[in-house]
Amino acid sequence: MESALLKRLDAILPAAPARDADAAGTHELPRRAMLLRAVAALPELPGEQPQGPSDPPEHRAAAAPHDPSSVHSAAARALRALAQAGLLSECVADAAAASGESGRPAPLSLRAMCLVRAALSYRSPLYDLMFVMQGLGSYAVALCGSAEQRRSYLPAVLQGDAVAALALTEPEAGSDLAGIRTRARPDGAGGYVIDGEKTFISNAGLATHYVLYARTDDHPKKGLTAFLLPAATPGVRTEPLALLCDDHPIGRVILEGVRLPESARIGQPGQGMTLALGTLEVFRPSVGAAAVGMARRALDETLVRVQARVQFGQPLAAFQATQLAVAEMATECEAAALLVAHAAALHDTGGPAMPASAMAKLFATEAAQRIIDRALQLHGGSGLIRGSVIERLYRDVRALRIYEGTSEIQKLVIARSLLTAKG
């Protein structure tokens, strides 16, 4: 069973696109195999369907109604398993492996991160979420944190002892980070008093630490500053949010008179916009990788389904309309995988991140939505059974076109990159 799963995971993302092979090598094939084996060996999470379609969805037991109290326990279990498997090192910088005179951790391999995210999302979007949040909630510290922050925080995140979160989005500040209103005011004793609200924060209520962005000056771009905020700090409270993907730990973070010492600041005052955009830029192609993993799972489920399901005296696969649909699904899935692999290879070899990074995120997430929608159509009513693989993918994939830069923002980034280059 594990060997069959390994074969499917290995087919999701290529080792390196042919055009990048000379510069990027073959992505260290022994390490690639090691990472895929680690993903394949992860324990199944509650509600996770076995890998590889078996019984038709309508013959499987219906999923129990969602219990919000189980979300955090399932997420914590996923994080422990990822840490024990050693996978978190692909998204969290290792403070013990500092390089150069600066003492900063060595750069992450985006190709490895994308490989792991694609494989994890094929298995379980919850595994993927807990993996990437450890990176998103620690990357600013790796870039510009103090020596003490890196020494105390990064190893804990890497081992899964600290649960990381990124507190960036606000009710009036999504794509427009200049609209952030959370305010950090000097307290007169060298520290800060912070008031404000963050929303749609993954791991809210579960995180032990937040990388928080707050306004220390009125300048729209140069007035943001990053802080490392322990969740247990007085004045911090959280409220859960119920989303379409109901096993996603997410909520609001309310800050009322929160006091932080100067040592909690990450980098210099006013450096927050650069840190936030730098974090999103590095992780953006990996969102496309997660989309490719979900799309590939939907395609694999569909190929089995249409060959087993008989209508009008023959399998669905015998109908030309079905054949055209799966051909389009497979082609889009392969194109998305190649775009993601190309963007990751460019990053790792020092090439220009834009517009390849935005193209990968845009196309892969949009294509995954189309592929999973078509998979549901080919599954018919069984694709709507709550808790079935396709139904869960249908709910989980939708957020990928929104977070870490909406599809519309990616189009603007691509256009500006092209027009600037031509101008």
State the Cα–Cα distance between residues 92 and 290, nearest whole angstrom. 17
Using CA atoms, how far residue 112 sits from 87, 109, 294, 340, in Å, is 10, 5, 17, 12
391 catalytic residue (yes or no) = no
Helix, strand or coil for residue 275?
helix
- Least Cα distance to 68 among 205, 173, 191, 179 occurs for 205
Q: Could you tell me if 364 and 292 are in contact, meaning their C-beta atoms sit under 8 angstroms apart? A: yes
Helix, strand or coil for residue 338?
helix
Torsion of CA 200, 203, 207, 212, to 10 degrees: -30
Report cis status (omega within 30 of 0) of the bond before 355.
yes
Q: Could you tell me if 148 and 155 are in contact, meaning their C-beta atoms sit under 8 angstroms apart? A: no
State the Cα–Cα distance between residues 259 and 236, nearest whole angstrom. 10
The active-site residue, picked from 48, 332, 404, 408, is 404
The helix (H) or strand (E) run that includes residue 378 is helix 356-379
Computed on alpha carbons and rounded to an integer, the radius of gyration of the chain in Å comes to 22
The residues annotated as belonging to the active site are 404
